[in-house]
Structure 1
Amino acid sequence: MSKSKTNGWHYTLEILVVFIGITAGFILNNWREDAVEKKLENKYLSSFYRDVQNDDLKLDSIASSSQLKADKLISILKETEVVNKPLSEDLAREIVTEMMYIEWLSATNDTYEDIINSGNLNLISDYQLKEKISSYYTFLNEVKNVEQYYQKHMDNYGFPVLYKTVNLLTLKFVNEESYQNLEFTNMYLGVISLIQQNNIHYRKALEKNKELQEALRNSLKL
């Protein structure tokens, strides 16, 4: 074999070795990046699972207590309507007691805020799971908005009515007319309506929570 052919094969082999080395390095680097991303994805999913488990307990608790409040207020309304008699001071006092205790949902959204702010939402490779996560936290914002309607009703209407009709420390009313008039009745009916709206959203959020928990368990193979 001539010297020129030998040099040609030598150069070809060198180029081939370099190409293989670069390709192998590229593949190895991609493998490492994929491994890092997969590890980070699992970390996020585990954190999401802990968050929704915490929310499960909170949603169940607030849905139950809010429903009890609505049931109590509605039972008082029915009690006066059925016998067609005016609201008594004792029942009016129960209404005030129920309205004064306001409880809001405190959902755990640290993981969601972190993954959104860091731009890492696309790390979640399962498209359907990603949609369930986004849908769940979007709905939690809806729950917050509905709660704010109730808060605004109390701030703009409910509390002003109560401040001029009842001593909130002793729960003594100014007079009989103060809790039997149309203003007090409309305020009370508005509260019932808004609490029922809250309850609907709490129950729906709890359903979404259960669905997301199941999807996360399947993804994490728990």
Structure 2
Amino acid sequence: MKGRRVTFGAILLEIIIVIIGISIAFGLSNWGERRKEVRMGDEFVRTMINDLKSDSAAFVYQIANVQENISNVESFMDMCRRKDFREDSVRWYVGNFMNKNNWLINSNTYEILKSGGKLDIITDFELRSDISFFYRIRTYQTDVILEQNLAFEQNQMNPYLTKHSDYFISDIPDNGFVRDIEFQNLLGRWRDLKEGKLSIYENTLEDIKALIPKLEAYLE
């Protein structure tokens, strides 16, 4: 009996050793996978920083263009109100007020993480929330304002200008269409859309400037 008890104890000890060994190996494997995910998360964050820096430079440029565009439209509207229809001025404004200034946020890195269910590899919960808010809200807003501008151009402004296409090709153009209330209302709508775009672009740029330092601090 004594020999059997010793044998049973030895077997039990071996089982315990095996269990401990498996647990350590499993723990080391999980630790290694987690370290791998952390390094992957850092790479995604670096890519996101580069994306945001490119977006930041683009929005600075776009904002300046939109501001200039709004100024031109308002000057054109003022000229129409004053009925100061000088031929050279009308031709210049008609040729310039439709300048298009659009930019869509580069959300590829965020979408890769989101679609793969990998956002949690960025371990800072608050930072993850800031990233998600920025890309969900600002991407949606820039998409919507672009759609609104395109719809206005295609469904209202372009059809109106097409009706008066002789103005753009005639040697002796008739600028009478700019006197129409319909055209002046279209200018007002165009100005309002541009102001909406400007507000969204400015807010987006502010958020980018706030988010980049948080991402850089995360990597330190």
* Aligned equivalent of 1:73: 73
- Decide whether the 8 Å contact of 1:179 with 1:185 is kept in 2: yes
Question: For structure 2, which runs of at least 5 residues remain unmatched after alignment?
Answer: none
* Aligned equivalent of 2:15: 15
- Decide whether the 8 Å contact of 2:56 with 2:205 is kept in 1: yes
* Aligned equivalent of 1:127: 125
Q: Structure 1 residues 15, 134: CA separation in 2 closer, same or farther (over 3 Å shift)?
A: same
C-alpha deviation, 1:87, in angstroms = 3.8
User: Which piece of structure 1 moves more, 4-13 or 166-175?
Assistant: 166-175
1:51-70 pair list within 5 angstroms: 51-70=51-70
**Over residues 85-117 of structure 1, what are the superposed CA-to-partner deviations in whole Å (9 max), with x where a residue is unaligned?**
344333332332223321210432221221122
1:1-222 pair list within 5 angstroms: 2-79=2-79, 81=81, 84-138=82-136, 139-167=138-166, 169-170=168-169, 174-221=173-220
- Decide whether the 8 Å contact of 2:167 with 2:174 is kept in 1: no
**Over residues 173-196 of structure 1, what are the superposed CA-to-partner deviations in whole Å (9 max), with x where a residue is unaligned?**
852421111111111111111111
In structure 2, give the amino acid aligned to 1:60. Answer: V
C-alpha deviation, 1:30, in angstroms = 1.1
Please give the alpha-carbon distance, in whole angstroms, between the structure 1 residues aligned to 2:195 and 2:86.
24
- Decide whether the 8 Å contact of 2:145 with 2:196 is kept in 1: yes
> Secondary structure of the equivalent of 1:100?
coil
Please give the alpha-carbon distance, in whole angstroms, between the structure 2 residues aligned to 1:171 and 1:62.
33
C-alpha deviation, 1:124, in angstroms = 1.8
- Decide whether the 8 Å contact of 1:178 with 1:184 is kept in 2: yes
**Cα-Cα RMSD:** 2.2
In structure 2, give the amino acid aligned to 1:146. Answer: I
- Decide whether the 8 Å contact of 1:166 with 1:172 is kept in 2: no
User: Which piece of structure 1 moves more, 125-134 or 51-60?
Assistant: 125-134
Q: Structure 1 residues 171, 3: CA separation in 2 closer, same or farther (over 3 Å shift)?
A: farther
Question: For structure 1, which runs of at least 5 residues remain unmatched after alignment?
Answer: none
- Decide whether the 8 Å contact of 1:60 with 1:206 is kept in 2: yes
Number of equivalences: 219
**Over residues 53-101 of structure 1, what are the superposed CA-to-partner deviations in whole Å (9 max), with x where a residue is unaligned?**
11111111111111111112223333554xx334433333233222332
Alignment TM-score, normalising by the size of structure 1: 0.89
C-alpha deviation, 1:33, in angstroms = 1.4
C-alpha deviation, 1:122, in angstroms = 2.3
C-alpha deviation, 1:141, in angstroms = 1.9
Alignment TM-score, normalising by the size of structure 2: 0.89
Q: Structure 1 residues 89, 189: CA separation in 2 closer, same or farther (over 3 Å shift)?
A: farther
In structure 2, give the amino acid aligned to 1:110. Answer: N
Please give the alpha-carbon distance, in whole angstroms, between the structure 1 residues aligned to 2:132 and 2:118.
13
**Over residues 125-157 of structure 1, what are the superposed CA-to-partner deviations in whole Å (9 max), with x where a residue is unaligned?**
211111111111121221121121111111111
Q: Structure 1 residues 25, 173: CA separation in 2 closer, same or farther (over 3 Å shift)?
A: farther
